[in-house]
Structure 1
């Protein structure tokens, strides 16, 4: 994996307590000849398990900055569901333990190695491609993992643009040649991906039909999504009728659907799709399987696809990925793309983690601000 050197905690850690060891006098003499990073405060996990149990905040010693390395002072990093799954040990791709948590984030260049070109101290950079280990105050890794971005970009958006907004944009472009006047149906519409789908569609003249869960505050959620540009917003209970398409009015039958919930919410997406439509699944928040009727395959000729952003990024797409991120960040700076977040100080990391784990009910995306 990328960033192996800053993820490898073992050289300075007790094998049992994972506490930092002070460098020996010979190590100090060796370090004095080269450029060193500041010490780093990091969220680490030694074993896989419940994130609120296995994570701890520790101090890591300085790391040598080699010729092609960049030392970045982190400014912000989100807590994504995939971050939680990595710590739990259930995500398909995860770093070896012990490991520093986090996967995407933004920071400011602190110092650079002697051979580094194109980056200078003070530049705003984001981890691209995203790499494990962003939940720490300082990161040292190869220059190729950092993408310089406009200083006018709000750090909380730069920290969160890769996983969710890029997922929304890629799904809209990868499965169907959508044109102005077409429609998309999605569940999980209040999620960050859902909010981005609504706004990106609005910019392209594409209609959106949005499904949300029945829960307190659903009326406020509907109003919020409509302000973002949603054409229709329905709770799941509103769709408990045979002909859901009678609710569409002037909105055309959608050709493309997005599912991040599974279970009944996925079935509702399928009910809306037109003949030959496609449903793309990118998550399974309900942890329930997708059930498809035989008629959906035989008579409606529906297609079911899956999308995993990490696989797309890993397929040598760095240049294309960065171009798309620059496009999304330009929309953010222009005020055309926004989504819900809650910033929490790094000192209150475990409070943010509890919210991300759902211990306090539904919460906005938690973003750690260093």
Structure 2
């Protein structure tokens, strides 16, 4: 109690503005003391990226030291190895994502870690094992995470950490969209915009592995010829810039079966270009809106082409009792990675350089690979 008294005196000296933070610190301290008295088993203290309110990520996030927490009978304490900065993480911090933890919160939903210790009732996991949260779970941007054993999925330690940390949100989205909307067979074609995104690159490679052709749309920018070559090396059949598709009949540009599936993560004109490629009765799936412009569909597309517009949100798929199926898919994707059939560009960023990695993810430093925090 002497520690609490000293903290109180310090808070009062610093003024009333520091009092809410003190209350949180005192609550964490009391929780730790209770945990020690009831079980004697505590995690190590953790360094975390936290936010106390929603807002611009570069303004509301901070690095904080969190005290040890109790490790209960069914808990696993994991020392995090790496965790990516995904757009959905940024949206959660901003407060605009449909599902977000209450504040104050530790950020991050995906990653890979090494088991540090386990509760007395845990079977099947041991210190040293590598695990990922499956489905993804809140609070991954910290050095130690304690969650129930059911959260963690054991994986092969030979997987590079940057791939293990990022296998769910983007590669799994690509896989589900290829499987869930249209019955695609070898020799079929699909069309997508946002082909340079991580999901877009995964779609190209997963389609290639299944004998499915891809027509890919990229934005107009300097160095587009180099981008096209990189995508073709991944397995892309055709790659066009948006400007190149300003023709009367885009289908005359390709010698492939008309696509039955289109994938849209941009919106605006880029979505309209996807629709132009689709065959009669085709389906366009929207999973993002990078341009922040609406999807506009001509009346003729609905009436005469009978096109279908669908949406995909991985969080909803994961939340529909898909935990077991999710893990089967994860193992399948990790196997492709091990075989060199699925690759993508990421940059490992030291955890202490979090704010630089965040600036890169926010686009402040130009086009950058996906940032993965390395703890």
TM range (shorter): over 0.9
**Partner residue of 2:318?**
313
Paired with 1:248 and 1:280, the residues of 2 have a C-alpha distance of: 21
- Return the TM-score normalized by structure 2: 0.92
Paired with 1:173 and 1:206, the residues of 2 have a C-alpha distance of: 12
**Partner residue of 1:9?**
none
1:167 aligns with 2:145: no
1:274 aligns with 2:279: yes
Paired with 2:245 and 2:220, the residues of 1 have a C-alpha distance of: 11
Paired with 2:111 and 2:298, the residues of 1 have a C-alpha distance of: 41
SS of the aligned residue for 1:163 comes to helix
Please report how far the alpha carbon of residue 242 of structure 1 lies from its aligned counterpart in structure 2 after TM superposition: 1.1
Please report how far the alpha carbon of residue 39 of structure 1 lies from its aligned counterpart in structure 2 after TM superposition: 0.3
**Equivalent of residue 68 in structure 1, options 69, 74, 81:** 74
- Unaligned 5+ segments in structure 1 are 1-12
Q: How far does the alpha carbon of each residue in 1:101-131 deviate from its partner, in whole angstroms, 9 at most, with x for none?
A: 0011100000000000000000000010101
**Partner residue of 2:300?**
295
Paired with 1:221 and 1:115, the residues of 2 have a C-alpha distance of: 51
Distance 1:264 1:35, change over 3 A: same
**Partner residue of 2:155?**
149
Distance 1:301 1:26, change over 3 A: closer
Paired with 1:197 and 1:352, the residues of 2 have a C-alpha distance of: 25
Paired with 1:125 and 1:96, the residues of 2 have a C-alpha distance of: 25
**Equivalent of residue 187 in structure 2, options 162, 181, 186:** 181
Paired with 2:79 and 2:220, the residues of 1 have a C-alpha distance of: 42
The CA RMSD over aligned residues, in Å, is 1.7
Q: How far does the alpha carbon of each residue in 1:133-171 deviate from its partner, in whole angstroms, 9 at most, with x for none?
A: 100000001000000001111111111010000000000
CA contact (8 A) 1:127 1:146 kept: yes
1:219 aligns with 2:247: no
**Which has the larger Rg?**
2
More helix by share: 2
Q: How far does the alpha carbon of each residue in 1:289-342 deviate from its partner, in whole angstroms, 9 at most, with x for none?
A: 000000000000000000000000000000000000000000001111001111
**Partner residue of 1:6?**
none
Distance 1:25 1:202, change over 3 A: closer
CA contact (8 A) 2:188 2:259 kept: yes
SS of the aligned residue for 2:297 comes to coil
Paired with 1:26 and 1:367, the residues of 2 have a C-alpha distance of: 30
CA contact (8 A) 2:217 2:240 kept: yes
Paired with 1:187 and 1:346, the residues of 2 have a C-alpha distance of: 32
Please report how far the alpha carbon of residue 216 of structure 1 lies from its aligned counterpart in structure 2 after TM superposition: 1.8
* Map 1:185-200 → 2, pairs under 5 A: 185-200=191-206
Distance 1:38 1:82, change over 3 A: same
Paired with 1:14 and 1:332, the residues of 2 have a C-alpha distance of: 49
Please report how far the alpha carbon of residue 223 of structure 1 lies from its aligned counterpart in structure 2 after TM superposition: 0.7
**Partner residue of 1:247?**
253
Paired with 2:45 and 2:251, the residues of 1 have a C-alpha distance of: 59
Please report how far the alpha carbon of residue 351 of structure 1 lies from its aligned counterpart in structure 2 after TM superposition: 0.3
CA contact (8 A) 2:35 2:70 kept: no
**Partner residue of 2:268?**
263
CA contact (8 A) 2:78 2:113 kept: yes
CA contact (8 A) 2:80 2:143 kept: yes
**Partner residue of 1:357?**
362
**Equivalent of residue 201 in structure 1, options 182, 201, 207:** 207
Distance 1:29 1:37, change over 3 A: closer
Paired with 2:134 and 2:121, the residues of 1 have a C-alpha distance of: 20
Please report how far the alpha carbon of residue 362 of structure 1 lies from its aligned counterpart in structure 2 after TM superposition: 1.6
SS of the aligned residue for 1:36 comes to coil
1:304 aligns with 2:309: yes
CA contact (8 A) 1:71 1:111 kept: yes
Please report how far the alpha carbon of residue 19 of structure 1 lies from its aligned counterpart in structure 2 after TM superposition: 7.0
Paired with 1:260 and 1:221, the residues of 2 have a C-alpha distance of: 18
Aligned length: 357
**Partner residue of 1:231?**
237
Q: How far does the alpha carbon of each residue in 1:347-369 deviate from its partner, in whole angstroms, 9 at most, with x for none?
A: 00000000000101121111101
Please report how far the alpha carbon of residue 217 of structure 1 lies from its aligned counterpart in structure 2 after TM superposition: 2.1
**Partner residue of 1:43?**
49
CA contact (8 A) 1:31 1:64 kept: no
